Amino acid sequence: MTPKRDASEIRAAIASGETSAVAVCTHALDAIARLDPDLHAFHQVTGDEVRRRAASLDAGGLPGDAALGGVPIAIKDNICTVSSETTACSRVLDGYVAPYDATVIQRLTRAGAVIVGKTNCDEFAMGSSTENSAFGPTRNPWGLDRTPGGSSGGSAAAVASGMVPVALGSDTGGSIRQPAALCGVLGLKPTYGRVSRFGLIAFASSFDQIGPITRTARDAADVLAIIAGHDPQDATSVDAPVPDYRAALTGDLRGLRVGVPRHLLATGVEPDIAAAFDRALDELEHAGAKLNDVTLPHADLAIAVYYLIGNAEASSNLARYDGVRYGVRAEAATTHDMYARTRDRGFGAEVKRRIMIGTYVLSAGYYDAYYLKAQQVRTLIRRDYERAFAEVDVVAVPTSPTAAFRLGERAADPIQMYLSDVFTVSANLAGLPAISIPCGLTSERLPAALQLTARAFDEATLLRVADALERRTSWAMERPPIFAP
């Protein structure tokens, strides 16, 4: 048994006695030890705790409904766990251990999962390349000179390289989908409110969602079924039934209506990405789906709106990191100086940039001109999708306009970095579910990906499409040069 097998296969092999949780998790730890020095997908690995947990599962047996019994899973380092530090890859939270597990961690643990460690990410999930981590960048298993995307780059690289079959990320403006796309794996951002945010370190509270990164639609369906559902500890958690996502994996796309906003694809999309996107649309059509042109009139404003509202929320959320109650504290003669020095030393350049932008747009004299106007346009973007979904079931665009770019290539140009998320931020602004599905390789053998957005709480349709494409193509089977044997 090796970690290159999918989570559902691992679970079945453990349940049948073909292998054990200890064997599976030891193999995962060995793979991390071999590959992670090059990739730096992990910020922390809790080897002793992993072995204890796996041995306990083997000794105590696994209930029949333990859907992830013995499966090793990686967790983005902005999701709280009592068994290890949670730093959001920021110096300001050095040494912080949460006094509770996030709701998603509790649910995964009850399902028998084994958490092997915390993955590297952009500091406070602010970035598109995982270069903003206080602990150094993560590298893409498809090319060590390339970014894995961000901010959940460590989670995507861990799954793409085969070190683990499943990882959790968080998605504020594309931070699950964009790294999944650049690493050639599947990434799902659920509907806002579908998955509890209790225990997720907040970046922008009206955008953030936790979701799975996997290699197959089946694994994504299983993980979402476990972590989804109402949580009274999260006031934004929606009390709605969680469907049987596995039942949606029929392979049948007959009657599916796919909307294509071609006006958004005219500029800025690399030719190889555009060609891969067109091939994916052809496959959907051959599988029985119907393609329709749709218009999203305000989509070109999405990046500006996102970076106004998101940074405003970030400036508010990050005000709590002042050196008083937790995290690092800089010594100073006065309280004011202590606050200033703590935040100056604790936060990286990108986080400081976003705090300053957010504080500016919320300040007197600029609130109406920037923040309020952005909220009004956010409503228009949501209405654009409502009109589109009167005619189609999903909206299709490339996940990223480019393949994985080189590390350092955009570090000095924040605007170019922000444009990496040009196709992903709209789903967060509208609170809609969206998925990134591998759709082939470029001429440089770098992954390309299709993004689909669906109606609120219709993750089942997104998983149905992903599963159908997996059955029809070999795209999801492509493996990077750095992959656990």
151 is catalytic: yes
Q: Which among 175, 237, 400, 436 is annotated as catalytic?
A: 175
222 φ, ψ (degrees, to nearest 5) = -65, -45
Per-residue HEC secondary structure of the chain comes to CCCCCCHHHHHHHHHHCCCCHHHHHHHHHHHHHHHHHHHCCEEEECHHHHHHHHHHHHHHCCCCCCCCCCCEEEEECCECCCCCCCCCCCHHHCCCCCCCCCHHHHHHHHCCCEEEEEECCCHHHCCCCCCCCCCCCCCECCECCECCCCCCHHHHHHHHCCCCCEEEEEECCCCCHHHHHHHCCEEEECCCCCECCCCECCCCCCCCEEEEEECCHHHHHHHHHHHECCCCCCCCCCCCCCCCHHHHCCCCCCCCEEEECHHHCCCCCCHHHHHHHHHHHHHHHHCCCEEEECCCCCHHHHHHHHHHHHHHHHHHHHHHCCCCCCCCCCCCCCHHHHHHHHHHHHCCHHHHHHHHHHHHHHCCCCHHHHHHHHHHHHHHHHHHHHHHCCCCCEEEEECCCCCCCECCCCCCCHHHHHHHHCCCHHHHHHCCCEEEEEEEECCCCCEEEEEEEECCCCHHHHHHHHHHHHHHCCHHHCCCCCCCC
Is 161 known to be catalytic? Answer: no
> Choosing from 8, 84, 90, 151, which is the catalytic residue?
151
Is-contact 148 106, C-beta < 8 A? no
Q: Which residues pair with 72 in a beta bridge?
A: 114
What per-residue string of b and e applies to 23-60 under the rule 16 or more CB within 10 Å gives b?
bbbbbbbebbeebbeebbbbbbbbeebbbebbeebbee
Choose, from 4, 76, 118, 189, the residue flagged as catalytic.
76
Which own/partner contact pairs does 292-295 have at CB distance under 8 Å and 24+ positions apart?
292/257, 292/258, 292/259, 292/260, 292/391, 292/392, 293/259, 293/260, 293/261, 293/262, 294/259, 294/260, 294/261, 294/388, 294/391, 294/392, 294/395, 295/261, 295/263, 295/384, 295/388
The answer to whether 218 and 483 have CB atoms below 8 angstroms apart is no
Catalytic residue at 474?
Answer: no
> Could you give the residue numbers annotated as active site?
76, 151, 175
